Structure 1
Protein backbone atom coordinates (compact mmCIF):
# COMPACT_ATOMS: atom_id res chain seq x y z
CA UNK A 1 0.00 0.00 0.00
CA UNK A 2 1.09 3.55 -0.76
CA UNK A 3 0.79 6.43 1.72
CA UNK A 4 -1.28 9.32 0.35
CA UNK A 5 -1.54 11.53 3.44
CA UNK A 6 -0.14 11.52 6.98
CA UNK A 7 -2.65 12.72 9.59
CA UNK A 8 -0.37 12.16 12.59
CA UNK A 9 2.16 9.64 13.93
CA UNK A 10 -0.50 6.93 14.17
CA UNK A 11 -2.94 7.56 11.30
CA UNK A 12 -2.40 7.67 7.54
CA UNK A 13 -4.45 7.65 4.36
CA UNK A 14 -3.33 4.94 1.96
CA UNK A 15 -4.12 3.38 -1.40
CA UNK A 16 -4.07 -0.42 -1.61
CA UNK A 17 -2.74 -2.15 -4.70
CA UNK A 18 -6.38 -2.85 -5.52
CA UNK A 19 -9.46 -1.09 -4.20
CA UNK A 20 -10.35 2.32 -2.82
CA UNK A 21 -8.48 4.58 -0.42
CA UNK A 22 -8.52 3.57 3.25
CA UNK A 23 -7.52 5.03 6.60
CA UNK A 24 -4.94 2.99 8.53
CA UNK A 25 -4.10 3.17 12.23
CA UNK A 26 -1.17 1.78 14.16
CA UNK A 27 1.35 3.01 16.70
CA UNK A 28 4.09 4.94 14.86
CA UNK A 29 2.59 4.21 11.44
CA UNK A 30 2.91 7.83 10.30
CA UNK A 31 6.10 8.73 12.17
CA UNK A 32 8.54 10.34 9.70
CA UNK A 33 6.42 8.93 6.86
CA UNK A 34 5.87 10.84 3.63
CA UNK A 35 3.26 10.65 0.84
CA UNK A 36 4.41 8.23 -1.82
CA UNK A 37 6.19 5.89 0.58
CA UNK A 38 5.09 2.32 1.14
CA UNK A 39 3.08 1.54 4.25
CA UNK A 40 4.87 -0.46 6.94
CA UNK A 41 2.11 -3.06 7.09
CA UNK A 42 3.61 -4.69 10.18
CA UNK A 43 2.45 -1.61 12.14
CA UNK A 44 -1.14 -1.59 10.84
CA UNK A 45 -3.63 -2.31 13.64
CA UNK A 46 -6.93 -1.39 11.98
CA UNK A 47 -8.21 -0.48 8.53
CA UNK A 48 -11.09 1.96 8.10
CA UNK A 49 -12.74 1.75 4.69
CA UNK A 50 -15.45 4.40 4.07
CA UNK A 51 -18.79 3.14 2.80
CA UNK A 52 -21.57 4.66 0.66
CA UNK A 53 -19.23 7.14 -1.01
CA UNK A 54 -18.34 8.98 2.19
CA UNK A 55 -15.39 11.34 2.44
CA UNK A 56 -12.30 9.33 3.37
CA UNK A 57 -10.33 12.48 4.34
CA UNK A 58 -13.05 13.49 6.81
CA UNK A 59 -12.97 9.98 8.24
CA UNK A 60 -9.19 10.21 8.64
CA UNK A 61 -9.41 13.57 10.41
CA UNK A 62 -11.82 12.13 12.97
CA UNK A 63 -9.68 9.04 13.56
CA UNK A 64 -6.56 11.18 13.99
CA UNK A 65 -8.24 13.31 16.65
CA UNK A 66 -8.87 10.36 18.97
CA UNK A 67 -6.11 8.71 21.05
CA UNK A 68 -5.33 5.24 19.61
CA UNK A 69 -6.09 3.57 22.94
CA UNK A 70 -9.63 4.97 22.83
CA UNK A 71 -10.16 3.66 19.30
CA UNK A 72 -9.03 0.25 20.52
CA UNK A 73 -11.31 0.59 23.55
CA UNK A 74 -14.32 1.23 21.30
CA UNK A 75 -13.50 -1.74 19.06
CA UNK A 76 -13.01 -4.11 22.00
CA UNK A 77 -16.24 -2.91 23.63
CA UNK A 78 -18.26 -3.39 20.44
CA UNK A 79 -16.82 -6.88 20.02
CA UNK A 80 -17.66 -7.72 23.65
CA UNK A 81 -21.26 -6.67 23.00
CA UNK A 82 -21.49 -8.94 19.95
CA UNK A 83 -21.42 -6.02 17.50
CA UNK A 84 -18.31 -6.89 15.50
CA UNK A 85 -20.23 -7.11 12.22
CA UNK A 86 -21.83 -3.72 12.82
CA UNK A 87 -18.43 -2.20 13.54
CA UNK A 88 -16.90 -3.74 10.42
CA UNK A 89 -19.73 -2.51 8.18
CA UNK A 90 -19.80 0.98 9.67
CA UNK A 91 -16.35 2.49 10.22
CA UNK A 92 -18.02 5.78 11.10
CA UNK A 93 -19.58 4.09 14.14
CA UNK A 94 -16.15 3.07 15.46
CA UNK A 95 -14.78 6.56 14.89
CA UNK A 96 -17.67 8.52 16.39
CA UNK A 97 -17.98 6.11 19.33
CA UNK A 98 -14.23 6.39 19.96
CA UNK A 99 -14.50 10.17 19.93
CA UNK A 100 -17.48 10.07 22.28
CA UNK A 101 -15.75 7.72 24.73
CA UNK A 102 -12.61 9.85 24.67
CA UNK A 103 -14.59 12.96 25.55
CA UNK A 104 -16.62 11.09 28.20
CA UNK A 105 -13.47 9.77 29.87
CA UNK A 106 -12.03 13.29 29.91
CA UNK A 107 -15.20 14.62 31.55
CA UNK A 108 -15.07 11.98 34.28
CA UNK A 109 -11.42 12.74 34.99
CA UNK A 110 -12.25 16.45 35.26
CA UNK A 111 -15.33 15.69 37.41
CA UNK A 112 -17.73 17.20 34.86
CA UNK A 113 -21.19 15.62 34.82
CA UNK A 114 -23.38 15.66 31.71
CA UNK A 115 -26.95 14.40 31.95
CA UNK A 116 -28.75 13.10 28.87
CA UNK A 117 -32.42 14.14 28.67
CA UNK A 118 -33.47 11.33 26.31
CA UNK A 119 -33.17 8.25 28.52
CA UNK A 120 -36.93 7.58 28.68
CA UNK A 121 -37.41 8.13 24.93
CA UNK A 122 -34.43 5.97 23.97
CA UNK A 123 -35.54 3.16 26.27
CA UNK A 124 -39.04 3.27 24.81
CA UNK A 125 -38.19 3.67 21.11
CA UNK A 126 -34.95 1.70 20.89
CA UNK A 127 -34.85 -0.96 23.64
CA UNK A 128 -32.59 -3.29 21.62
CA UNK A 129 -30.00 -0.59 20.96
CA UNK A 130 -30.12 0.56 24.58
CA UNK A 131 -29.47 -2.98 25.82
CA UNK A 132 -26.55 -3.29 23.40
CA UNK A 133 -25.25 0.08 24.55
CA UNK A 134 -25.36 -1.04 28.17
CA UNK A 135 -23.24 -4.05 27.21
CA UNK A 136 -20.80 -1.76 25.38
CA UNK A 137 -20.61 0.53 28.41
CA UNK A 138 -19.97 -2.40 30.74
CA UNK A 139 -17.10 -3.54 28.51
CA UNK A 140 -15.67 -0.01 28.43
CA UNK A 141 -15.76 0.27 32.21
CA UNK A 142 -14.11 -3.11 32.59
CA UNK A 143 -11.26 -2.18 30.26
CA UNK A 144 -10.78 1.46 31.26
CA UNK A 145 -9.11 2.98 34.31
CA UNK A 146 -12.14 5.24 34.87
CA UNK A 147 -15.80 4.36 35.32
CA UNK A 148 -18.29 6.08 33.04
CA UNK A 149 -21.76 6.73 34.51
CA UNK A 150 -24.73 4.56 33.52
CA UNK A 151 -26.26 7.50 31.65
CA UNK A 152 -23.58 7.20 28.95
CA UNK A 153 -25.50 4.17 27.64
CA UNK A 154 -28.09 6.60 26.25
CA UNK A 155 -25.54 8.40 24.10
CA UNK A 156 -23.97 5.11 22.98
CA UNK A 157 -27.42 3.80 22.05
CA UNK A 158 -28.01 6.84 19.83
CA UNK A 159 -24.77 6.08 17.97
CA UNK A 160 -26.07 2.56 17.33
CA UNK A 161 -29.47 3.88 16.24
CA UNK A 162 -27.88 6.24 13.73
CA UNK A 163 -26.11 3.31 12.06
CA UNK A 164 -29.46 1.62 11.51
CA UNK A 165 -30.95 4.72 9.89
CA UNK A 166 -28.13 5.24 7.39
CA UNK A 167 -29.05 4.47 3.79
CA UNK A 168 -26.97 3.75 0.72
CA UNK A 169 -28.75 6.36 -1.40
CA UNK A 170 -25.87 8.35 -2.83
CA UNK A 171 -28.15 10.96 -4.42
CA UNK A 172 -29.26 11.97 -0.94
CA UNK A 173 -25.64 12.02 0.21
CA UNK A 174 -24.67 14.28 -2.68
CA UNK A 175 -27.54 16.64 -1.90
CA UNK A 176 -26.54 16.81 1.74
CA UNK A 177 -22.94 17.56 0.80
CA UNK A 178 -24.05 20.80 -0.84
CA UNK A 179 -26.29 21.67 2.11
CA UNK A 180 -23.44 21.00 4.54
CA UNK A 181 -21.23 23.48 2.76
CA UNK A 182 -24.01 26.06 2.77
CA UNK A 183 -24.58 25.59 6.51
CA UNK A 184 -20.85 26.04 7.24
CA UNK A 185 -20.93 29.26 5.23
CA UNK A 186 -23.86 30.53 7.31
CA UNK A 187 -21.98 29.87 10.57
CA UNK A 188 -18.75 31.30 9.19
CA UNK A 189 -20.43 34.47 7.93
CA UNK A 190 -22.24 34.94 11.25
CA UNK A 191 -18.95 34.97 13.17
CA UNK A 192 -16.76 36.44 10.44
CA UNK A 193 -14.62 33.32 10.17
CA UNK A 194 -13.57 30.81 7.57
CA UNK A 195 -14.42 27.40 9.00
CA UNK A 196 -11.63 25.09 7.92
CA UNK A 197 -12.80 21.48 7.49
CA UNK A 198 -9.35 20.28 8.55
CA UNK A 199 -9.97 21.38 12.14
CA UNK A 200 -11.45 18.68 14.33
CA UNK A 201 -14.03 21.01 15.91
CA UNK A 202 -15.46 21.65 12.45
CA UNK A 203 -15.24 17.96 11.56
CA UNK A 204 -17.25 17.12 14.70
CA UNK A 205 -19.85 19.73 13.77
CA UNK A 206 -20.15 18.18 10.31
CA UNK A 207 -20.65 14.76 11.91
CA UNK A 208 -23.41 16.18 14.14
CA UNK A 209 -25.11 17.67 11.07
CA UNK A 210 -24.90 14.35 9.23
CA UNK A 211 -26.58 12.60 12.14
CA UNK A 212 -29.22 15.33 12.19
CA UNK A 213 -29.88 14.69 8.50
CA UNK A 214 -30.39 11.01 9.30
CA UNK A 215 -32.85 11.81 12.08
CA UNK A 216 -34.75 14.20 9.81
CA UNK A 217 -34.86 11.61 7.02
CA UNK A 218 -36.17 8.94 9.40
CA UNK A 219 -38.66 11.24 11.15
CA UNK A 220 -37.01 10.71 14.53
CA UNK A 221 -35.71 14.09 15.63
CA UNK A 222 -34.99 14.87 19.25
CA UNK A 223 -38.00 15.83 21.40
CA UNK A 224 -40.47 18.05 19.56
CA UNK A 225 -41.01 20.56 22.38
CA UNK A 226 -38.31 22.68 23.99
CA UNK A 227 -36.87 20.81 26.97
CA UNK A 228 -35.26 22.24 30.11
CA UNK A 229 -31.83 21.41 28.65
CA UNK A 230 -32.74 23.19 25.43
CA UNK A 231 -33.87 26.27 27.32
CA UNK A 232 -30.64 26.26 29.34
CA UNK A 233 -28.62 26.22 26.11
CA UNK A 234 -30.69 29.09 24.71
CA UNK A 235 -29.99 31.14 27.85
CA UNK A 236 -26.28 30.33 28.19
CA UNK A 237 -25.41 30.60 24.47
CA UNK A 238 -27.71 33.32 23.05
CA UNK A 239 -25.53 34.26 20.06
CA UNK A 240 -24.94 30.64 19.11
CA UNK A 241 -28.66 29.97 19.51
CA UNK A 242 -29.54 32.81 17.12
CA UNK A 243 -27.08 31.34 14.62
CA UNK A 244 -28.61 27.89 15.15
CA UNK A 245 -32.04 29.32 14.36
CA UNK A 246 -30.70 30.56 11.01
CA UNK A 247 -29.19 27.14 10.34
CA UNK A 248 -32.49 25.45 11.28
CA UNK A 249 -34.44 27.79 8.98
CA UNK A 250 -32.15 26.91 6.08
CA UNK A 251 -32.56 23.19 6.82
CA UNK A 252 -36.33 23.58 6.83
CA UNK A 253 -36.17 25.31 3.45
CA UNK A 254 -33.77 22.84 1.82
CA UNK A 255 -35.23 19.63 3.28
CA UNK A 256 -38.90 20.67 3.42
CA UNK A 257 -39.15 19.82 7.10
CA UNK A 258 -39.53 21.37 10.55
CA UNK A 259 -36.53 21.36 12.89
CA UNK A 260 -37.57 20.82 16.50
CA UNK A 261 -36.58 23.23 19.30
CA UNK A 262 -34.35 20.61 20.94
CA UNK A 263 -32.50 19.97 17.67
CA UNK A 264 -32.00 23.73 17.34
CA UNK A 265 -30.65 23.87 20.89
CA UNK A 266 -28.13 21.12 20.25
CA UNK A 267 -27.11 22.83 17.03
CA UNK A 268 -26.38 25.90 19.15
CA UNK A 269 -24.25 23.85 21.51
CA UNK A 270 -22.13 22.54 18.63
CA UNK A 271 -21.87 25.97 17.03
CA UNK A 272 -20.61 27.43 20.31
CA UNK A 273 -18.02 24.66 20.48
CA UNK A 274 -16.82 25.35 16.95
CA UNK A 275 -16.40 29.11 17.37
CA UNK A 276 -14.80 28.81 20.81
CA UNK A 277 -12.03 26.53 19.49
CA UNK A 278 -8.99 28.75 18.90
CA UNK A 279 -7.89 26.54 16.02
CA UNK A 280 -10.85 27.81 13.94
Structure 2
Protein backbone atom coordinates (compact mmCIF):
# COMPACT_ATOMS: atom_id res chain seq x y z
CA UNK A 1 0.00 0.00 0.00
CA UNK A 2 1.53 3.33 -1.11
CA UNK A 3 1.15 6.72 0.54
CA UNK A 4 -0.48 9.42 -1.60
CA UNK A 5 -0.74 12.06 1.13
CA UNK A 6 0.54 12.06 4.71
CA UNK A 7 -1.93 13.38 7.28
CA UNK A 8 0.25 12.82 10.35
CA UNK A 9 2.48 10.09 11.77
CA UNK A 10 -0.56 7.89 12.32
CA UNK A 11 -2.61 8.47 9.19
CA UNK A 12 -2.30 8.86 5.45
CA UNK A 13 -4.36 8.80 2.27
CA UNK A 14 -3.97 6.20 -0.46
CA UNK A 15 -5.95 4.98 -3.45
CA UNK A 16 -7.22 1.58 -4.48
CA UNK A 17 -6.57 0.05 -7.89
CA UNK A 18 -9.88 1.49 -9.07
CA UNK A 19 -8.85 4.97 -7.85
CA UNK A 20 -11.06 5.02 -4.75
CA UNK A 21 -9.67 7.17 -1.95
CA UNK A 22 -8.87 5.43 1.33
CA UNK A 23 -8.04 7.08 4.63
CA UNK A 24 -5.69 4.80 6.56
CA UNK A 25 -5.05 4.88 10.32
CA UNK A 26 -2.39 3.03 12.32
CA UNK A 27 0.05 3.80 15.09
CA UNK A 28 3.19 5.35 13.55
CA UNK A 29 2.17 3.89 10.20
CA UNK A 30 3.38 6.98 8.32
CA UNK A 31 6.25 7.90 10.64
CA UNK A 32 9.40 8.65 8.67
CA UNK A 33 7.64 7.88 5.40
CA UNK A 34 7.28 9.91 2.21
CA UNK A 35 4.72 10.13 -0.56
CA UNK A 36 4.69 7.05 -2.85
CA UNK A 37 6.52 4.91 -0.30
CA UNK A 38 5.12 1.57 0.81
CA UNK A 39 3.96 1.17 4.42
CA UNK A 40 4.04 -1.69 6.90
CA UNK A 41 0.43 -2.91 6.63
CA UNK A 42 0.68 -4.77 9.94
CA UNK A 43 0.53 -1.35 11.64
CA UNK A 44 -2.83 -0.45 10.10
CA UNK A 45 -5.81 -0.32 12.47
CA UNK A 46 -8.51 0.79 10.10
CA UNK A 47 -9.21 2.03 6.58
CA UNK A 48 -12.09 4.27 5.58
CA UNK A 49 -13.59 4.81 2.15
CA UNK A 50 -15.66 7.97 2.71
CA UNK A 51 -18.91 8.01 0.77
CA UNK A 52 -19.45 11.76 1.03
CA UNK A 53 -17.52 14.99 1.54
CA UNK A 54 -19.12 15.30 4.97
CA UNK A 55 -17.81 11.89 6.04
CA UNK A 56 -14.37 12.71 4.69
CA UNK A 57 -14.19 16.00 6.57
CA UNK A 58 -15.40 14.38 9.79
CA UNK A 59 -12.75 11.65 9.64
CA UNK A 60 -9.96 14.09 8.78
CA UNK A 61 -10.99 16.44 11.61
CA UNK A 62 -10.99 13.53 14.06
CA UNK A 63 -7.55 12.42 12.92
CA UNK A 64 -6.23 15.90 13.64
CA UNK A 65 -8.01 16.32 16.99
CA UNK A 66 -8.14 12.87 18.61
CA UNK A 67 -5.11 10.84 19.79
CA UNK A 68 -4.52 7.57 17.95
CA UNK A 69 -5.06 5.67 21.21
CA UNK A 70 -8.81 6.23 20.99
CA UNK A 71 -9.02 4.91 17.44
CA UNK A 72 -7.33 1.74 18.65
CA UNK A 73 -9.69 1.38 21.61
CA UNK A 74 -12.75 1.86 19.39
CA UNK A 75 -11.47 -0.76 16.96
CA UNK A 76 -10.98 -3.31 19.74
CA UNK A 77 -14.55 -2.72 20.93
CA UNK A 78 -15.97 -3.09 17.43
CA UNK A 79 -13.84 -6.17 16.76
CA UNK A 80 -15.08 -7.78 19.97
CA UNK A 81 -18.72 -7.07 19.11
CA UNK A 82 -18.29 -8.52 15.63
CA UNK A 83 -16.15 -11.54 16.58
CA UNK A 84 -17.55 -12.63 19.94
CA UNK A 85 -21.21 -11.69 19.52
CA UNK A 86 -21.56 -11.81 15.73
CA UNK A 87 -22.92 -8.25 15.62
CA UNK A 88 -22.71 -6.73 12.15
CA UNK A 89 -21.77 -3.05 12.46
CA UNK A 90 -21.35 -0.16 10.06
CA UNK A 91 -18.16 1.93 9.81
CA UNK A 92 -20.06 4.88 11.26
CA UNK A 93 -20.05 3.08 14.63
CA UNK A 94 -16.25 3.09 14.67
CA UNK A 95 -16.19 6.85 14.02
CA UNK A 96 -18.88 7.62 16.60
CA UNK A 97 -17.27 5.40 19.25
CA UNK A 98 -13.85 6.96 18.78
CA UNK A 99 -15.28 10.45 19.22
CA UNK A 100 -17.46 9.47 22.18
CA UNK A 101 -14.73 7.63 24.10
CA UNK A 102 -12.24 10.49 23.64
CA UNK A 103 -14.85 12.96 24.90
CA UNK A 104 -15.86 10.73 27.82
CA UNK A 105 -12.26 10.37 28.99
CA UNK A 106 -11.71 14.13 28.71
CA UNK A 107 -14.86 14.78 30.74
CA UNK A 108 -13.89 12.22 33.38
CA UNK A 109 -10.54 13.93 33.88
CA UNK A 110 -12.55 17.06 34.73
CA UNK A 111 -14.88 15.02 36.98
CA UNK A 112 -17.79 15.66 34.62
CA UNK A 113 -20.09 12.68 33.99
CA UNK A 114 -23.25 12.31 31.94
CA UNK A 115 -26.33 10.46 33.22
CA UNK A 116 -27.75 7.84 30.88
CA UNK A 117 -31.53 7.98 31.20
CA UNK A 118 -31.89 4.67 29.32
CA UNK A 119 -29.51 2.63 31.46
CA UNK A 120 -32.24 0.32 32.82
CA UNK A 121 -33.73 -0.28 29.38
CA UNK A 122 -30.32 -0.95 27.83
CA UNK A 123 -29.40 -3.42 30.58
CA UNK A 124 -32.79 -5.17 30.27
CA UNK A 125 -33.45 -5.13 26.54
CA UNK A 126 -29.92 -5.13 25.13
CA UNK A 127 -27.88 -7.25 27.58
CA UNK A 128 -25.40 -8.40 24.92
CA UNK A 129 -24.59 -4.86 23.87
CA UNK A 130 -24.46 -3.68 27.48
CA UNK A 131 -21.99 -6.42 28.38
CA UNK A 132 -19.76 -5.18 25.56
CA UNK A 133 -20.06 -1.70 27.06
CA UNK A 134 -18.96 -3.00 30.46
CA UNK A 135 -16.01 -4.77 28.86
CA UNK A 136 -15.16 -1.53 27.08
CA UNK A 137 -15.01 0.33 30.40
CA UNK A 138 -12.37 -2.10 31.64
CA UNK A 139 -10.40 -1.65 28.42
CA UNK A 140 -10.59 2.14 28.65
CA UNK A 141 -9.40 2.11 32.27
CA UNK A 142 -6.51 -0.19 31.36
CA UNK A 143 -5.47 1.92 28.40
CA UNK A 144 -6.16 5.42 29.77
CA UNK A 145 -6.06 4.99 33.54
CA UNK A 146 -9.48 6.63 33.79
CA UNK A 147 -12.43 4.78 35.37
CA UNK A 148 -15.82 5.52 33.83
CA UNK A 149 -19.28 4.89 35.38
CA UNK A 150 -21.78 2.32 34.11
CA UNK A 151 -23.70 5.10 32.39
CA UNK A 152 -20.88 5.17 29.86
CA UNK A 153 -21.26 1.44 29.26
CA UNK A 154 -24.83 2.28 28.31
CA UNK A 155 -23.71 5.02 25.91
CA UNK A 156 -21.24 2.65 24.25
CA UNK A 157 -24.03 0.08 23.96
CA UNK A 158 -26.25 2.69 22.28
CA UNK A 159 -23.59 3.28 19.62
CA UNK A 160 -23.41 -0.48 19.00
CA UNK A 161 -27.20 -0.67 18.84
CA UNK A 162 -27.16 2.24 16.41
CA UNK A 163 -24.83 0.25 14.16
CA UNK A 164 -27.16 -2.74 14.29
CA UNK A 165 -30.10 -0.51 13.37
CA UNK A 166 -28.24 0.81 10.35
CA UNK A 167 -27.24 4.08 12.03
CA UNK A 168 -30.85 5.01 12.76
CA UNK A 169 -30.09 6.17 16.29
CA UNK A 170 -33.58 7.64 16.68
CA UNK A 171 -34.88 4.07 16.40
CA UNK A 172 -33.26 3.16 19.70
CA UNK A 173 -35.77 5.05 21.83
CA UNK A 174 -38.63 3.96 19.60
CA UNK A 175 -37.65 0.28 19.88
CA UNK A 176 -37.23 0.57 23.66
CA UNK A 177 -40.69 2.13 24.01
CA UNK A 178 -42.14 -0.57 21.74
CA UNK A 179 -40.67 -3.37 23.88
CA UNK A 180 -41.76 -1.68 27.11
CA UNK A 181 -45.33 -1.27 25.87
CA UNK A 182 -45.68 -4.86 24.65
CA UNK A 183 -44.15 -6.18 27.87
CA UNK A 184 -46.62 -4.13 29.91
CA UNK A 185 -49.51 -5.54 27.83
CA UNK A 186 -48.38 -9.07 28.70
CA UNK A 187 -47.93 -8.34 32.41
CA UNK A 188 -51.29 -6.55 32.67
CA UNK A 189 -53.31 -8.94 30.50
CA UNK A 190 -52.00 -12.06 32.27
CA UNK A 191 -51.50 -10.49 35.72
CA UNK A 192 -47.95 -11.77 36.10
CA UNK A 193 -44.50 -10.53 36.99
CA UNK A 194 -42.12 -11.48 34.19
CA UNK A 195 -38.66 -12.73 35.05
CA UNK A 196 -36.71 -10.24 32.96
CA UNK A 197 -33.49 -12.17 33.53
CA UNK A 198 -34.84 -15.39 32.03
CA UNK A 199 -33.69 -16.81 28.72
CA UNK A 200 -37.27 -16.94 27.45
CA UNK A 201 -37.81 -13.25 28.10
CA UNK A 202 -34.52 -12.46 26.38
CA UNK A 203 -35.75 -14.43 23.35
CA UNK A 204 -39.04 -12.51 23.44
CA UNK A 205 -37.19 -9.18 23.45
CA UNK A 206 -34.91 -10.33 20.61
CA UNK A 207 -37.96 -11.38 18.60
CA UNK A 208 -39.53 -7.94 19.16
CA UNK A 209 -36.38 -6.17 17.98
CA UNK A 210 -36.32 -8.22 14.79
CA UNK A 211 -40.06 -7.72 14.37
CA UNK A 212 -39.67 -3.94 14.74
CA UNK A 213 -37.06 -3.91 11.97
CA UNK A 214 -39.35 -5.87 9.69
CA UNK A 215 -42.44 -3.83 10.53
CA UNK A 216 -40.76 -0.44 10.05
CA UNK A 217 -38.38 -1.15 7.19
CA UNK A 218 -39.61 -4.34 5.53
CA UNK A 219 -36.38 -6.12 6.39
CA UNK A 220 -36.17 -9.90 6.14
CA UNK A 221 -38.10 -11.64 8.88
CA UNK A 222 -36.02 -13.51 11.43
CA UNK A 223 -37.15 -16.04 13.99
CA UNK A 224 -35.35 -17.20 17.12
CA UNK A 225 -34.69 -20.93 17.18
CA UNK A 226 -36.84 -23.88 16.21
CA UNK A 227 -40.38 -23.27 17.42
CA UNK A 228 -42.00 -26.34 15.88
CA UNK A 229 -42.53 -28.08 19.24
CA UNK A 230 -43.99 -24.91 20.69
CA UNK A 231 -46.38 -24.63 17.75
CA UNK A 232 -47.58 -28.15 18.46
CA UNK A 233 -48.07 -27.28 22.13
CA UNK A 234 -50.14 -24.25 21.19
CA UNK A 235 -52.38 -26.37 18.99
CA UNK A 236 -52.73 -29.25 21.49
CA UNK A 237 -52.79 -27.26 24.69
CA UNK A 238 -55.12 -24.50 23.56
CA UNK A 239 -53.14 -21.72 25.21
CA UNK A 240 -56.11 -19.39 25.07
CA UNK A 241 -54.87 -16.77 27.54
CA UNK A 242 -51.60 -16.30 25.68
CA UNK A 243 -53.43 -16.15 22.36
CA UNK A 244 -55.84 -13.52 23.66
CA UNK A 245 -52.87 -11.53 24.92
CA UNK A 246 -51.30 -11.74 21.46
CA UNK A 247 -54.58 -10.43 20.02
CA UNK A 248 -54.34 -7.43 22.37
CA UNK A 249 -50.86 -6.82 21.03
CA UNK A 250 -52.13 -7.13 17.47
CA UNK A 251 -54.77 -4.48 18.16
CA UNK A 252 -52.21 -2.15 19.77
CA UNK A 253 -49.80 -2.48 16.85
CA UNK A 254 -52.56 -1.85 14.33
CA UNK A 255 -53.82 1.23 16.16
CA UNK A 256 -50.35 2.64 16.87
CA UNK A 257 -48.34 1.70 13.77
CA UNK A 258 -51.04 0.90 11.23
CA UNK A 259 -49.49 -2.53 10.75
CA UNK A 260 -51.51 -5.75 10.69
CA UNK A 261 -49.94 -8.86 12.16
CA UNK A 262 -50.19 -11.86 9.89
CA UNK A 263 -51.38 -15.21 11.24
CA UNK A 264 -47.74 -16.28 11.38
CA UNK A 265 -46.81 -13.12 13.32
CA UNK A 266 -49.65 -13.81 15.73
CA UNK A 267 -48.61 -17.42 16.23
CA UNK A 268 -44.99 -16.49 16.95
CA UNK A 269 -46.11 -13.78 19.35
CA UNK A 270 -48.32 -16.31 21.15
CA UNK A 271 -45.49 -18.83 21.40
CA UNK A 272 -43.15 -16.30 22.98
CA UNK A 273 -45.84 -15.20 25.42
CA UNK A 274 -46.41 -18.82 26.46
CA UNK A 275 -42.69 -19.27 26.99
CA UNK A 276 -42.26 -16.28 29.26
CA UNK A 277 -45.43 -16.87 31.29
CA UNK A 278 -45.96 -20.57 31.80
CA UNK A 279 -43.28 -20.91 34.47
CA UNK A 280 -44.27 -17.95 36.60
CA UNK A 281 -46.78 -19.93 38.60
CA UNK A 282 -49.21 -17.05 38.62
CA UNK A 283 -50.67 -17.14 35.16
CA UNK A 284 -54.46 -17.14 35.06
CA UNK A 285 -56.09 -20.51 34.44
CA UNK A 286 -56.56 -20.94 30.74
CA UNK A 287 -59.97 -21.74 29.31
Report the TM-score, using the length of structure 2 for normalisation.
0.49
1:74 equivalenced with 2:74 (yes/no): yes
Give the superposed CA RMSD: 3.6
State the partner residue of 2:44. 45
| Structure of greater relative contact order (alpha carbons < 8 Å, 6+ residues apart) | 1
Q: Could you tell me whether the CA contact under 8 Å between 1:10 and 1:68 is conserved in 2?
A: yes
What is the deviation of 1:153? 0.7
Check conservation: 2:2, 2:38, Cα contact below 8 A: no
Which has the greater radius of gyration? Answer: 2
1:1-280 counterparts in 2 under 5 A?
1-18=1-18, 20-30=20-30, 37-42=35-40, 44-50=43-49, 53=51, 57=56, 58-80=58-80, 83=83, 90-166=90-166, 214-216=168-170, 220=174
Contact persistence 2:118–2:154 (CA under 8 A):
yes
Equivalent-residue separation in structure 1 for 2:98 and 2:137 (angstroms): 12
Secondary structure, in 3 states, of the residue corresponding to 1:47? strand
SS of the counterpart of 1:137? helix
- The SS at the match of 1:159 is helix
Aligned residue-pair number = 175
Deviation at 1:45, TM superposition (A): 2.1
SS at the partner of 1:96? helix
Q: Distance in 2 between matches of 1:38 and 1:72?
A: 25
Task: Report the 3-state secondary structure (helix = DSSP H, G, I; strand = E; otherwise coil) of the residue aligned with 1:220.
Answer: helix
Seen in structure 2, the aligned counterparts of structure 1 residues 79 and 164 have a Cα distance that, compared at 3 Å, is: closer
Deviations 1:251-275 (A, max 9, x none): xxxxxxxxxxxxxxxxxxxxxxxxx
The alpha carbon displacement at 1:70 in A equals 1.4
Alpha-carbon distance, 1:15 to partner: 0.5
- Alpha-carbon distance between aligned partners in 2 of 1:219 and 1:72, rounded to the nearest angstrom: 29
Q: CA deviation at 1:136?
A: 2.4
Q: Secondary structure at the match of 2:13?
A: strand
* Deviates most, 123-132 or 55-64: 55-64
In 2: Cα distance, 1:73 partner to 1:215 partner? 22
After superposition, what is the alpha-carbon deviation per residue over 1:116-136, rounded to whole angstroms, capped at 9, x for unaligned?
A: 111123233323222222222
| Distance 1:135-1:28 versus aligned 2 partners, 3 A rule | closer
1:137-169 deviation per Cα after TM superposition (whole angstroms, max 9, x unaligned): 233333331211121111001000011111xxx
Deviation at 1:101, TM superposition (A): 1.2
1:102 CA displacement: 1.1
Q: Find the aligned partners of 1:54 and 1:25 in 2 and give their Cα distance.
A: 18
| Secondary structure class of the residue paired with 1:48 | strand
Segments of 5+ residues of structure 1 without an aligned counterpart are: 167-210, 225-280
Deviation of 1:54 after TM superposition, in Å, equals 5.2
Question: 8 Å contact 2:74–2:97 — kept in the other structure?
Answer: yes
Displacement of 1:78: 4.0
Q: What secondary structure is seen at the aligned counterpart in 2 of 1:12?
A: strand
Counterparts of 2:83 and 2:64, CA distance in 1: 23
After TM superposition, the structure 1 stretch with the greater mean CA deviation from structure 2, 72-81 or 92-101, is: 72-81
Structure 1 10/143 Cα, relative in aligned 2: closer, same or farther at 3 Å? closer
Q: Secondary structure at the match of 1:23?
A: strand
Q: Which moved more, 1:151-160 or 1:3-12?
A: 3-12
Change (3 A) 1:114 1:39: farther
